[in-house]
Amino acid sequence: MLEVISLLSNILTNPSSPMKELLCEIPFIISNHPDLKYIAEQFEIPFFHFPLVADSGDKSKAKAEQEALIEAAIAKYEVDTLVMARYMQVLSDDFCDKHASHTINIHHSFLPAFEGAKPYHRAKERGVKLIGATAHYATAKLDMGPIIVQDVAPISHRDTVKDMVRKGKDLERVALARALRYHLESRVLVHENRTIVFD
C-alpha cells in the first residue's frame, strides 16, 4: 500500500473520502494553518502544523526550516506521494526538483490560463465561458508542471465569482481524485513537460 500525504492550507475538505476508493493510506496531514486540525482528528490522522514564521524577516530561511520539517516527516513515514490540496505556498526549487515525479498539485484554473492566485476573479474580469481545474505534477515553475487531468464546467454572465469558486471546488475534487488514482495505479508517463495518461 502506497503512503500519501496531504499538504493543505485552509480549505474545508475530507481527506479520506476519496482515499477510501484509492489504493493508498494517508499517514499524516501537513498544513501551514491550524484550521484543519479537526479534520485530521476526526479521521484519526496525525496533523502537523508547520507555519511559515519569519522571526527575523528572513523569509527564505523560514521557508528552508519549514521544508526541512516536511522532509523529516516524509522520511519518517516513508511517504511515496505528496498531494498539494490548496497548499498556497510556493515550494523551493530544491524541494520541487527532489519530489517532482511524485507531488501532485491541484490548481483552481484550467491551466495555462490564470496561473497563480485568484484565477476566478481574473476569469470573471475576462468574461470566460468555461472554468476549470488542473491536476499536475508540481515543479519549480509555479503551475507549469506536467498536466495529469483537467476538468471544465460552463459558466455564464450570471455567475458571480462566488458561483465560480463553488463550481470550481467541485471540479478540483474530481480532477484531483482522478489524477491521484492514475498516479497510484502507474497510469501516467511523463516525458519532458507532458504526460501520457492511460485512463
Q: Write out pLDDT tens, residues 184-195.
A: 999 999 998 899
pLDDT band at 25 (very low <50, low <70, confident <90, very high): confident
Question: Is 143 annotated as catalytic?
Answer: yes
At 96, give phi and psi (nearest 5°).
-60, -45
Give the pLDDT score at 21: 72
What average pLDDT score do residues 147-152 get? 95
Q: Which of 55, 58, 80, 143 is catalytic?
A: 143
**By the 8 A CB rule, do 7 and 90 touch?**
no
Q: Write out pLDDT tens, residues 68-93.
A: 999 999 999 999 999 988 777 788 89
Give the pLDDT score at 134: 92
Domains in the chain: ranges and CATH: 1-89 (3.40.50.170), 108-136+150-199 (3.40.50.170)
On average, the pLDDT of the chain sits at 85
d(CA 172, CA 180): 12
164 burial (CB, 10 Å; 0-12 / 13-18 / 19+) is buried
Which residues fall within 8 angstroms of residue 132, CB to CB, at 6 or more apart? 109, 110, 150, 151, 152, 153, 168, 171
Strand 130-137 relative to strand 147-154, pairing = antiparallel
What average pLDDT score do residues 58-76 get? 90
Q: Write out pLDDT tens, residues 87-137.
A: 777 888 999 899 989 999 998 877 677 777 788 888 888 898 999 899 999
